């Protein structure tokens, strides 16, 4: 039968000398017998050894757990180092992608600025190219212009007029190709957004508020007014003239 080290004191125990208890770093001396705390050994009545010393509460489980965790510590350390290496590689890759995106954005910004500058500088290149044909037609008309001689023939004058009309048609065609159209609102309702009234006058056959005459044609590009047409607005029919045929009989 295993002796209980914590059994109740008997008469024989009372007869023993008082136990001298001393505590130290290495262990506890109880009744002259050393109990090694590090080895969890408690001497029995005769001699407590590690075989008959009961462990403290949780001491056995803790020791077993510590014994099991110890072999896994190198593996956990390796996993932690691998995780740090993976994170560092991912950060380096993201930094490289950010640098590439920043370079692409800078190149896009520079290209956009160059295209904007070129568009402002050469926007009228196509229109100017079409005007070259108009200039050539006008030059040919001037070459055929009659001189100041009194014997100028009617044929020469007619050829000059024909050349001027061709120039005007070429200019109108060039402007229409680029969205510029001529505005001649004669007979139309007066529109202050498109027309500029320079005078008001009665006009036979033209209702009041309509354009009686166009003093200067206007031009539009798309839905925008380049130049408003200068017009004379009708005030309606003129009142009948008084020819003095009316006789006052009130006297």
The pLDDT score that the predictor gives to residue 134 is: 87
Q: What is the pLDDT of residues 213-242, one digit of tens each?
A: 999 999 999 889 999 999 999 998 777 655
Q: What is the chain's mean pLDDT, rounded?
A: 74
Give a yes or no: residue 49 inside a domain: yes
Roughly what angle, to the nearest 10 degrees, separates helices 125-143 and 154-177? 180
195, β-bridge pairs: 229
β-pair partners for 197: 231
Residue 67: the pLDDT is 46
Query: Is 246 among the domain residues?
Result: no
Q: 228 and 186 in one domain? A: yes
Residue 234 burial class via C-beta count within 10 angstroms: exposed 0-12, middle 13-18, buried 19 and up: buried
User: Across residues 116-143, what is the average pLDDT?
Assistant: 84
Burial environment of residue 203 by CB neighbours within 10 A (0 to 12, 13 to 18, 19 or more): buried
Residue 239 lies in a domain: no
**54 shares its domain with 93:** no
Specify the higher pLDDT residue, 111 or 248.
Answer: 111
Asked if the structure places residue 247 within a domain, the reply is no
Phi first, then psi, for residue 28 (nearest 5°) are -125, 130
* 157 and 188 belong to one structural domain: no
The pLDDT confidence band at residue 12, using thresholds 50, 70 and 90, is very low
Determine, yes or no, domain membership for 1. Answer: no
Kindly tell me if the per-residue pLDDT of 184 is higher than 80. Answer: yes
Q: Which residue has better confidence, 43 or 177? A: 177
Concatenated DSSP letters for 91-111? Answer: HHHHHHHHHHHHHHHHHHHHH
Mean pLDDT value across residues 119-123: 81
| Measured distance between the N- and C-terminal CA atoms of the chain, rounded to whole angstroms | 168
For residue 69 the two structure tokens come to: 């965790």
The verdict on 50 and 86 lying in the same domain is no
Per-residue confidence (pLDDT) for residue 49, from 0 to 100: 56
Could you tell me if 113 and 153 lie in one domain?
no
In a domain, 99, yes or no: yes
> Are residues 223 and 195 part of one domain?
yes
Burial of 139 (0-12, 13-18, 19+ CB in 10 A): exposed
Q: Is 243 inside any structural domain? A: no
CATH number of the domain that 195 lies in? Answer: 2.30.22.10
156 assigned to some structural domain: yes
Which structural domain range is residue 42 located in? 18-65
Do residues 229 and 184 both lie within one domain? yes
A 10 A CB-CB count for 13 gives 12
pLDDT at position 65: 45
Give the pLDDT confidence score for residue 109 in this predicted structure. 94
Q: What angle do CA 207, 211, 213 make, to 5 degrees?
A: 120
Asked if residue 134 and residue 117 are part of one domain, the reply reads: no
Taking the CA atoms of residue 49, residue 53, residue 56 and residue 59 in that order, the dihedral angle to the nearest 10 degrees is: 60
Domain count within the chain: 4
pLDDT tens-digit map of 22-76: 444 444 444 444 445 444 444 445 555 555 555 555 555 444 444 444 555 667 7
């Amino acid at each position: 039968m295993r002796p209980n080290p914590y059994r109740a004191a008997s008469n024989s125990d009372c007869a023993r000398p008082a136990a001298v208890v001393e505590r130290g770093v290495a262990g506890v001396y109880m009744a002259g017998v050393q109990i090694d705390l590090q080895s969890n050994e408690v001497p029995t009545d005769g001699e407590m050894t590690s075989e008959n010393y009961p462990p403290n509460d949780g001491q056995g489980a803790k020791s077993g757990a510590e014994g099991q965790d110890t072999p896994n510590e190198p593996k956990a350390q390796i996993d932690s180092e691998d995780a740090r290496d993976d994170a560092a590689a991912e950060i380096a890759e993201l930094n490289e992608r950010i640098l590439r995106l920043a370079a692409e954005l800078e190149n896009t910004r520079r290209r956009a600025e160059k295209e904007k500058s070129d568009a402002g500088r050469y926007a009228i290149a196509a229109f100017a190219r079409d005007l070259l044909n108009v200039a050539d037609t006008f030059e040919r008309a001037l070459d055929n212009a009659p001189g100041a001689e009194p014997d100028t023939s009617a044929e020469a004058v007619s050829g000059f007029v024909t050349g001027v009309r061709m120039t005007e048609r070429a200019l109108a065609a060039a402007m229409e190709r680029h969205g510029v159209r001529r505005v001649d609102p004669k007979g139309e309702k007066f529109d202050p957004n498109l027309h500029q009234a320079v005078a008001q006058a009665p006009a036979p056959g033209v209702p009041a508020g309509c354009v009686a005459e166009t003093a200067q044609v206007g031009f539009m590009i798309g839905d925008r007014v380049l130049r408003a047409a200068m017009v004379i607005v009708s005030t309606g029919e003129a009142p009948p003239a008084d020819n003095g045929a009316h006789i006052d009989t009130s006297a």
